[in-house]
Amino acid sequence: MKEVLAFTLLVLTGKAYSILPKSYEARFISFDSTGPEVVDFSKIRFLGRDHRANGTVEIMKDLDNTFSLSAESFIDSNGDGEYKQLPFSIPLEPFCKALNSYWSYFDASFKYGENTDFPVHTRPCPVPKGIYYFKDVLIKTDGWPTIMPRGYLKGVTNLFRNGENVGSLEIVAHITDIAK
């Protein structure tokens, strides 16, 4: 009986956290990439006080399932450059599967026809080669966990083709409490 009560309490606590409003916001800090032979992120810049992402991304090859990716996340709570790895990661998996599995974390930030011409609304596979624009993209945390550590959040994604690393993307965002 105690186990059932404890389980019920745990489930209700989890549901309560999921309906709580988020108490944090995020903004871009930096963007770094390697491997411009496949995907070139070098023309992305941050503008304004709120660091809106603007620019173009060029994809040189159709990104199909000959590509795979993995990702890791890190936090620097003090802002001193000492990042610690977080348990949020993406294991190495085929590109299209990863795109479909994790794109929901970015849905709120990217809107086809509003701030990008990248076909986010259809999640195509393969992702067609081409040049795509991004205009005034802000990080919107809809779909993110209710509770997030504060500080500098770094995400590192590695792109592989037939098992060989062909590029990486590192994005740093600053997670802060919402100013009231």
Task: Please give, one letter per residue, the 3-state secondary structure of the chain.
Answer: CHHHHHHHHHHHHHHHHHHCCCCEEEEEEEEEEECCCCEEEEEEEEECCCCEEEEEEEECCCECCCEEEEEEEEEECCCCCCCEEEEEEEEEEEHHHHHHHHHHHCCCCCCECCCECCCCCCCCCCECCEEEEEEEECCCCCCCCCCCCCEEEEEEEEEEECCEEEEEEEEEEEEEECCC
Domain assignment of residue 1, yes or no? no
State the total domains in the chain.
1
Residue 140 is part of which domain span? Answer: 23-177
Cβ neighbours of 58 (radius 10 Å)? 15
Domain assignment of residue 83, yes or no? yes
Q: Put the strands of the sheet holding 52-59 in their side by side order.
A: 39-47, 52-59, 130-137
What pLDDT was estimated at residue 105?
Answer: 87
Integer Cα distance of 31 and 29 in angstroms: 7
Domain assignment of residue 153, yes or no? yes
pTM: 0.82
pLDDT tens for 123-166 read 889 999 999 999 999 999 988 888 889 999 999 999 999 999 99
Per-residue confidence band for 77, with pLDDT thresholds at 50, 70 and 90: very high
Domain assignment of residue 136, yes or no? yes
Please report where in the chains the tokens 């956290």 appear, as a residue.
17
Instruction: Residue 51: give its domain's CATH number.
Output: 2.70.220
Domain assignment of residue 5, yes or no? no
Domain assignment of residue 118, yes or no? yes
Mean pLDDT (the chain, rounded): 88
